[in-house]
Structure formats: structure tokens, C-alpha cells
Amino acid sequence: MASEITYAEVKFKNASPAAEVKVPPKTKKREHHPQKYPPWLPWLISLLLLLVCIALAIALLVAPFCHSSDQPTALQQKFMEWQCMSTMSQSKEQGWKCCPKDWKLFQKSCYYLSTDKLSWVESEQNCTGMGSHLVVINSKAEQNFLSKELQKLKNGENYYIGLKAREVEQWHWVDQTPFNETAAFWRKGEPNDMDDENCVVIHRFSNLPNNWNNVGCWNHHRICEAAAVTV
């Protein structure tokens, strides 16, 4: 007799169901999108920087002259290009002294050494037209400075200064400064008493400091002088 196999479903009391593993939900990573700028922005920044540079250049060149005086001097009205040198005043504040381009600065004055020749009268008119006058020499330091500057030149022998005789040996400066014989710088044997030699030049090839010569008032080079612009 064959044996029977019986199947039965058995449930155990208090059996715990299989542990359920909970997986935390996946967090979405934030996507990094680079901030986009308009394509014209770099050009705008470059333009602004250029304008700032131009403004600074104008301020450095023009502003000093605007503050130097309410009314520009005749020299300022005649020239557009200037050269300035830093100075230190007695109050220890930094300032600038300015001369037209190609003029020489010494102390408080600017000097123009001409490359052409004119008569004494024409020379004074030329200086006046530039807002200056033929140079008036007031000190040995000024005399030495001008003489050394002339010696650097390659051309020219005689350079007019602003000294002239109305009568023989009656010398007068063009700006009415009193003539001081003890502060004159005549060459040896000068001035002579020739009636036709009423104008005075610096002789470039003479030794310092005594290099003044009285000459006829025909064509020579000239030295013009004007007050430096202080800013």
C-alpha cells in the first residue's frame, strides 16, 4: 500500500515578517550653470577704462593751468605745449613750474634761445609777441646759467639781452630795472664808447661770467625771458 504525502500550511505564532529595508530617496544634485554675461560687456568695460585714462590725462595737463590764475598770462595764451618741473616750496608743499616747450627753466623764469637772427628792435618785438621780453639779468647765478646754456649750442655767436644805451654808455634794461654797474658782466675792454654800438649781447665763446659785448644793433640771435607759470 502506497504511502500518502500530505502537505499542510503551518503558520508560526509571533513570527516577525522579513525586515523591510527602506532606502532614502535619491537627492537630486543641483546642476551648476555658469552665469552668462552679455557679449558686449567686455567692450563696455574697455571703453570706460579708456575714457577714465583720457580724463586723467586731460586733468594733469589742463587743470594745473586752470588753477594757476583766474586770467591766463600772455605767455599762456601764446603756447599750447608746456613742460613742467616739480618743485618744493618753502611750505614743503609740492608744486610745479611750467615753461613753453623748448624753453629753458631757471628759478622763476623761462628762457627762449633763438635759432634765427633779428635786429635788436625786431628781437624785442618778437619776444613781446610771445608774451615775454629780451632777458634782464639780475644775478651772477642767472648769468652763469644762460652762458652755460649758450655754450651747449652748436650755432650762433652773439645773443641779444635786454640792455640798450639811449645815449653813449647810458644803459637801460627793457623792463625799467635800474642798471647796476657792479652787477654787470662786461668782457675785458667793454663796453667801448663807439656811437654806433648801443646794444648788448652775450658773446657765446667768451669765458664765464664776463661775456657781455656792446655791438651795433644789427642782426643777432636773442634770449627772451618770461615768468614761469607756477601751479
| pLDDT tens-digit readout, 157-211 | 999 999 999 887 789 999 999 999 888 999 999 998 888 899 999 999 999 999 9
Q: Are 167 and 179 in contact (CB under 8 A)?
A: no
Contact 86, 96 (CB under 8 A): yes
Question: Domain spanning 111-225: which CATH class is it, in words?
Answer: alpha beta
Q: 150 is written with which cell numbers?
A: 649758450
Distance, in Å, from the CA atom of 64 to the CA atom of 49, rounded to the nearest integer, reads 23
Model pLDDT for residues 113-148, shown as the tens digit of each residue: 999 999 999 999 999 999 999 999 999 999 999 999
Beta bridge partners of 94: 88
Phi-psi region of 14 (alpha: psi -120 to 50; beta: other; left: phi over 0): left
Identify the CA nearest to 160 among candidates 107, 111, 209, 228: 111
